[in-house]
Amino acid sequence: MASVTKKGLATNAYTPLKPGEKYAPYVPASQMIPEVTTRSIIWGLVMAIIFSFGAAYLGLKIGQVFEAAIPIAILAIGLSRLYPRKNTILENVIIQSIGSASGVVVAGGIFVIPAFYILQLQDKITLIHIFLAAFIGGSLGILFLIPLRRYFMVEQHGLLPFPEATATTEILVSGEAGGGQAGTLVVSMLIGGLYDFFADVMHTWNFHLATAYSVMENGVLRWKSQLLGNVGAYLGEKYRLVLKLDALSAIFGLGYIVGLKYSAIITGGSVLSFLILVPAVYFFGQHITTLIPPGTVLIKDMTEIQIFGTYVQKIGIGAIAMAGILGIIKSSKVILQSFSIGFKQLFGGHHEIGQERTDRDINMKSLMLLIGLFMVMLVIFFIWISNPVVGVVGFGIVILLAFLFTTVAAYAIAIVGTNPVSGMTLITLIITSLVLSLVMPGEKIQGIVVALIMGCVVCTALSMSGGFVTDLKIGYWFGSTPANQQRWKFLGTFLSAASVGLAILIIHKAYGFTLPGSTFDNPIANPNVAAPQGNLMATIVKSLMADPINQPWFLFGIGALIAVVLEMCKVPPLAFALGMYLPIQLNVPLLAGGFLAWLLSRSSKNKEISAARQERGTLIASGFIAGGALMGMIGAILNLDQLGTLARYISIGVPFGVNTDGRWIPQIENALTYYRDYGMVIGLLTFIGLAVWMYYHSQKAAQE
């Protein structure tokens, strides 16, 4: 039995177990304390509703859905002060588990549903359609992950970093422990939160660091020097070689928790995409005078971002798909064993394994019956929106892809904390559109509607499975009853599914996803509510239903081949593929955080001192992530109201004007234009200062 630290988890909570060693959860299996109570259920549902609206706005605005688990955990700790009896740690886990359904269900909705409004097809769907797609998809994500719980929680203990789960767990532990740990967490939350607020919300300085940037001058693309001076401009102009970094505390903290190994692999994927493949495409394509599909402009006129989005990111999507298939093959034994147990219980009356409270899932017989029930609901739903043939075909596609990609989503969250759900949804829409173009010839509009609904179901299922694996890992560390988390997750999913469609409708009514004059054939995106994933999905589905043959299959194939080679070289293909797919500016900060974690782990010859410093660093990194998430939500709230009339004038030096939409947060172009000469230098110096503060503050653990 592992020893337990004075104010935290067991000492082997984050490390691989030695032969014969077991992990002792925070609350032992033999101990019974309040877990599912009226208080935990009500507050969990309140969190689910509130965060659904906040996450929907932020996701539609910038294309990123903040993870609700961290701020909900912080609020759960604070709410316990309102009651004579303080919340137990397991009550807080339930609040977090129910409430965090908001972020994952919202991610599934906002990636697809805005496409209906963008293509002027909103009269083809209702809130009932959106609710059913989100609820059925989210429920399938829960059900498909349950048989894999023991694999991810127990068999992979200490082998996968689980960055978001680690951050949330550290917050909950600190809330229980109080004292120095809680103080460190609060200070790091304030520093990280204020840093990201002034950088990302107020745009006080330019956190988008780059070696060069491009502008259009009199219709000609010009490259300007930045951090590397004229060298950076030369490399950008001649080779489209630009190194970028988003200097934000939340991403830096995430990299620390991910660790050097995986952050280096992820950044390696970005290096391949941005510093090798993008320059290669430009080098060979700059002299070609014809369009190269899927491009719509000549390669010589493209920026590095356009080359990446048009060609290289497609390679990343192919790599993610193949990495997912390889992951499924490797975990096929676990999947088959899990469902074999379910069928034996369903037809043979076998008893479930693992009778300890902390290892008790929903009864496998009930699980199989629930999966069957939701499958029937899915078939009826698809027949309702189309016809029996399409309903059955669509059911087969959705169930197959949702089941196969569940493992991919869970692995992605466990490795890097980022779910490649948009890439996998894109694959789903491609496959669905190709099949529907054969099943529904001549029914282009109806085919688009059905494909988008199916995409929403799969997208929500994948998003839910990725988010739910975090909930289960948190519960595993603390000693929650898995069956309780699983049962009550459905209720959070139900309310979040009911909220997401209404949130999207309100945002559409308030701002509109397109500008006046938009049509089905010529949608004009509204820059105030960019909905980047929705615009991408709309473009892909429309083009596939019109011409399913001419798609970038060659690029997808290159990515698939890269994933196979990585697997053969024993390099985790999914982590590398994620790096290829995501913009490099989001991954380089991960490497910086991972490198700092490596430095602290070797900061002393005394292993106990190094471990204490690294543990302090984990707490600080968790605070950075939490502060960034909270400030993102606050920024979204302020952006909805006129609350910042006075606040917009406090930002240092940015020439604010009143935005045309009346909101107070400045457009990013203000800071980028004003700070071309020195803003990135300020951003770099503040980022270095943040890292130095974290390093030296972590070393205080040795003194304590």
DSSP letter string over 288-339?
Answer: --S--TT-SS-GGG--HHHHIIIIIHHHHHHHHHHHHHHHHHHTHHHHHHHH
For residue 75, give Cα distances in angstroms to 3, 26, 56, 101, 168.
Answer: 30, 20, 19, 15, 12
Dihedral-angle region of residue 63 (phi above 0 means left; psi in -120 to 50 means alpha; beta otherwise): left
- The single-letter code of the amino acid at 517 is G
Tell me the chain's radius of gyration from C-alpha atoms.
25
CA 388 to chain centre: 35
pLDDT in the model for residue 653: 35
Q: How far apart are CA 436 and CA 386, in angstroms?
A: 11
pLDDT in the model for residue 510: 65
pLDDT in the model for residue 687: 93
Spatial CA neighbour of 559 closest among 407, 413, 420, 452? 420
Q: How far apart are CA 690 and CA 148, in angstroms?
A: 39
Low pLDDT (below 70) residues in the chain: 1-8, 54-55, 57-59, 61-68, 70-71, 87, 175-182, 324, 328, 331-355, 416-423, 442, 510-511, 518, 521-522, 524-533, 536, 546-550, 629-630, 632-678, 701-704
Place of tokens 């590095």: 304
Q: How far apart are CA 419 and CA 225, in angstroms?
A: 34
Q: How far apart are CA 508 and CA 511, in angstroms?
A: 5
Spatial CA neighbour of 144 closest among 486, 414, 655? 486
Q: How far apart are CA 360 and CA 613, in angstroms?
A: 35
Q: How far apart are CA 333 and CA 155, in angstroms?
A: 13
pLDDT in the model for residue 692: 95
- The single-letter code of the amino acid at 673 is T
Spatial CA neighbour of 476 closest among 4, 27, 64? 27
Quickly count: other Cβ atoms within 10 Å of residue 383's Cβ: 16
Q: How far apart are CA 587 and CA 258, in angstroms?
A: 11
> DSSP states of 507-566 as a string?
HHHHT-SB-TT--SSS--B-GGG--HHHHHHHHHHHHHHH-SSSS-HHHHHHHHHHHHHH
